[in-house]
Amino acid sequence: MILVTGGAGFIGANFILDWIAAVGEPVVNLDKLTYAGNLENLAALEGDARHIFVRDDICARATVDALLAQHRPRAIVHFAAESHVDRSIHGPGEFMRTNVEGTFTLLEAARAYWGGLAGAERENFRFLHVSTDEVYGSLGPKDPPFAETNPYEPNSPYSASKAASDHLVRAWHHTYGLPVVTTNCSNNYGPFQFPEKLIPLVMANALAGKPLPIYGDGMNVRDWLYVGDHCAAIRTVLAGGRVGETYNVGGWNEMPNLTIVKTICALLDEMKPDAGGRYERLVTFVADRPGHDRRYAIDARKIERELGWRPAETFETGIRKTVRWYLEHQDWVAHVQSGAYREWVRKNYGDRE
């Protein structure tokens, strides 16, 4: 049994589906079901006794303690986080609460639980903390990719809150001996991603004939990681990662945002042609967001060298799978595009044109 936090969100849900399929071990899924949490992501597991869902907050210490005592998991895999930079700019408070206070609460509960274990249970227990490459700051055009030894230089409220959580995890290992491992991943994409992020937002807007908003000049560079590869990496780190270590997880796919958008447009032209013309006609440059990091890139050689993991998908194969998934799951997209989502899009993009 493992305990997963945030397992109804984009990466968490993909991980649980992947875990059940690949490992078959039961999962307790603790998720608050905020705007980005969606049990439809896990519809394939409905009625499956290996998935136990609990709706609550990671800041609720009594709930976490009770779950640990009842289910006695061999590991905690911690995904739960507020994760969107734009939302952190508009309202940083919730990011501090969930990402910092929530991680602290989990660490204290895990420390108490682990302290009561003995023998092999104590030796084998792990706390795996899932984080982001954004904690390292921004790279120049010719800078080498982020390695695990890079100093932390977070530039947004989101990345600062994740950096704080990473530091807490490190401190709980070095001070208390809690057996932790941390992963810092690059930009994920794939099925079930909430359409506030670039790829699903572009998909949704293109199919609706709406503008495709691109910040600034569109040349901000990210390393893109297919979510299925990320899930495999986390399984690999949980199985063999060295206690106290950090592993960067990247896709070896550096690409400017404008190229991403044009690639999606070309795939839509192929898979679902629009009578109005090529989708690229909808590209619209809008005012950049404050403090927008120019480039991220991940050096993922450590996880390959030590654990043998390397992404299976290229960007070309992964983005094709992703576009096809969204085209085949338009009902899912329609369900998540609630009034609250539309208001968020209006608030974030309405004054940028």
What distance, in Å, lies between the first and last C-alpha atoms of the chain?
49
Is the model's pLDDT at 232 over the cut of 70?
yes
- For 23-66, what is each residue's pLDDT tens digit? 999 999 999 998 888 999 999 999 999 999 999 999 999 999 99
Question: 57, 86, 134, 299: which is the annotated catalytic residue?
Answer: 134
Tally Cβ neighbours within 10 Å of residue 259: 14
**Which amino acid, 245?**
E
| Residues with Cβ within 8 Å of residue 319, at least 6 apart in sequence | 189, 199, 224, 260, 263, 264, 267
* Higher per-residue confidence, 196 vs 238: 238
What are the distances in angstroms from CA 15 to CA 60, 186, 267, 346?
23, 16, 26, 31
Provide the strand spans (E) within the chain.
Answer: 2-5, 27-31, 51-55, 75-78, 126-132, 180-185, 187-189, 212-215, 221-226, 246-249, 254-256, 283-286
CATH topology of domain 2-190+223-254+291-313: Rossmann fold (3.40.50)
From 82, 86, 113, 158, the catalytic residue: 158
Mean pLDDT for the chain?
94
Secondary structure of residue 285 in the 3-state scheme: strand
What 3-state class would DSSP assign to 51? Answer: strand
CA separation for the pair 131, 329 (Å, rounded) = 28
Q: Grade residue 151 by pLDDT with cuts at 50, 70 and 90.
A: very high
State yes or no: pLDDT of 318 exceeds 70. Answer: yes
Q: What is the pLDDT of residues 296-315, one digit of tens each?
A: 999 999 999 999 999 999 99
The answer to whether 181 and 242 are in contact (CB under 8 A) is yes
Classified as helix, coil or strand, 260 is helix
Residue 84 has pLDDT above 80, yes or no: no
Neighbours of 231 (CB within 10 A): 23
Active site residue 223: no
For residue 339, pLDDT beyond 60: no
Is 134 noted as a catalytic residue in this protein? Answer: yes
Query: What is the pLDDT, as a whole number, of residue 344?
Result: 47
What 3-state class would DSSP assign to 222? strand
196 tagged catalytic = no
Of residues 31, 57, 82, 133, which has the active-site annotation? 133
Domain ranges of the chain: 2-190+223-254+291-313
Residues in the chain, overall count = 353
Interval 262-287: pLDDT, tens: 999 999 999 999 999 999 999 999 98
Residue 22 has pLDDT above 80, yes or no: yes
